Amino acid sequence: MINKVKQTAEEKYEQLKAALEGTNDQFDADLLDTSAPGEPIPSGARHPVSIMLNKIIGIFERIGFTVAEEREVETDWYNFTAMNTPEDHPARDMQDTFYVRNAPNMLLRPHTSSVQSRVMTTQKPPIRIIAPGRVYRNETISARSHCQFHQVEGLYVDEGVSFADMKQTLLYFAREMYGRDTNIRLRPSYFPFTEPSAEMDVYMGTSDEKSYRLTKGTGWLEVLGCGMVDPKVLENCGINPKKYTGFAFGIGIERSALQNYDISDIRYLFENDVRLMRQFGSAI
C-alpha cells in the first residue's frame, strides 16, 4: 500500500513537472514582480516542557550520561516488583496507577523507573543513564497536578559509587540549571527503591516576590528526589549488590517549567493554546 501511494505521488509530480515545462516558452517574465515581499510564514516554537527537557538532558549528557527510552505501557514487575515496591505499597493502589482492563499485570507507567529496571536487566555495569519520558497517574486534574506529566530519572551503577558521588553530580546539575553560585541541601526522605533516600532543595533566596512565593518564605525550593539504589533492586535485576553500588534521582519536568517560566496553571501545558506557545518563539 505504501509503494502504491509512492507511485501515485511520483506520477502526479511528473505530470505537474511536464505541464510546467511545457508552458515555459509562453511565460511572460514581465508579469512577475521579483521585488515584492513573499508571503510571511509564521515560525513555530518549542513547547516549554520540551525546552526544559532538552536543557536537563544536555546537562547530564555533558558528564557522560546517555539517554534511555522505553515503553509507556509496562508490566507490573518492571514498574513495581523489580523496584522493591511491596504489594501493599500505596503506589499500587488504583487511585494512583492506571491499570489496563482485562490485563491485570499491565499498566501505564506512573514513573520512568521502569526504564531503569529494564536497562539493569539487559546491560552490565557500568550503567550511567537518564530516562526522560511521559508518565501517568490517576490523579484529579487541577492547577497544580495532572494525570499525565513528564519525568527525567537518572541512574549510575558501578563499583565504588558513593553518596558523595551522587551529591557532587546533583550539585553540578543544580549549578548548571540555576546558576554557578547555587547551593543545595539534601533532606532525609523515603522511596522504596533507594536507601538512604533524600529530597534535594536549591536555595533561591527571598530577595524578591517570586522567590519568596516559590519557597514559601524559606528560601529553599524542592527540585528532585534521590538516593542510593537499594541492594534489593540490584539483586532483582541480576546485578551483584556486593560488588556494585549506585545512585538514582528523579526530576519532574512540568514543575520545573512552571517555576522557570512563571506559569500559574499546569493545565496550560496540555491545552495547546497558541497564545501560550507564541511566548516561546525565541526560546532554544
38-56 pLDDT, tens digit each: 787 777 788 889 999 999 9
- Grid look-up 535485576 returns 237
User: Quick one: cell of 80?
Assistant: 513495581
CB 213 within 8 A of CB 221: no
Residue 169, in any domain of the structure:
yes
What is the predicted pLDDT for the residue at 264? 83
Q: Is the pLDDT of residue 91 over 70?
A: no
What is the predicted pLDDT for the residue at 214? 76
What DSSP line would sit under 221-242, residue for residue? EEEEEEEEEPHHHHHHTT--TT
Q: Mean pLDDT score of the chain, rounded to an integer?
A: 88
What is the predicted pLDDT for the residue at 245? 96
Residue 187, in any domain of the structure:
no
- pLDDT tens for 131-173 read 999 999 888 888 888 889 999 999 999 999 999 999 999 999 9
Residue 197, in any domain of the structure:
no
- pLDDT tens for 94-130 read 568 888 888 878 999 999 999 999 999 999 999 999 9
Q: Is the pLDDT of residue 284 over 50?
A: no
CB 179 within 8 A of CB 158: no
Q: Is the pLDDT of residue 281 over 90?
A: no
Residue 126, in any domain of the structure:
yes
What DSSP line would sit under the chain, residue for residue? -HHHHHHHHHHHHHHHHHHHHHTGGG--GGG--TTSPPPP-------HHHHHHHHHHHHHHTTT-EE----SEEEHIIIIITTT--TTSGGGSTTT--BPTT-TTEEE-SSTHHHHHHHHHHSPSPEEEEEEEEEE------SS--SEEEEEEEEEEETT--HHHHHHHHHHHHHHHH-TT--EEEEEEEETTEEEEEEEEEE--SSSHHHHHHTTTSSEEEEEEEEEEPHHHHHHTT--TTT-EEEEEEEEHHHHHHHHHT-S-GGGGGTT-HHHHGGGTT--
| Cβ-based neighbours of 263, under 8 Å, separated by 6 or more | 48, 257, 269, 276
What is the predicted pLDDT for the residue at 64? 93
| Cβ-based neighbours of 136, under 8 Å, separated by 6 or more | 72, 98, 108, 109, 110, 147, 148
What is the predicted pLDDT for the residue at 275? 83
56 lies in which domain range?
A: 48-180+245-280
35 band by pLDDT with thresholds 50, 70 and 90 = confident
Residue 162, in any domain of the structure:
yes
β-sheet bridge partners, residue 227: 197, 248
Between CA 121 and CA 214 the distance in angstroms is 40
| Structural domains counted in the chain | 1
Taking residues 56-69, what's their average pLDDT?
Answer: 95
Percent of the chain with pLDDT over 90: 55
Q: Residue 197: what residue type?
A: S
CB 133 within 8 A of CB 113: no
Q: What CATH number has the domain bearing residue 254?
A: 3.30.930.10
50: left (phi over 0), alpha (psi -120 to 50) or beta: alpha
Residue 237, in any domain of the structure:
no
Q: Answer whether 0.85 is exceeded by the pTM.
A: no
Residue 189, in any domain of the structure:
no
Residue 33, in any domain of the structure:
no
Taking residues 194-218, what's their average pLDDT?
Answer: 86
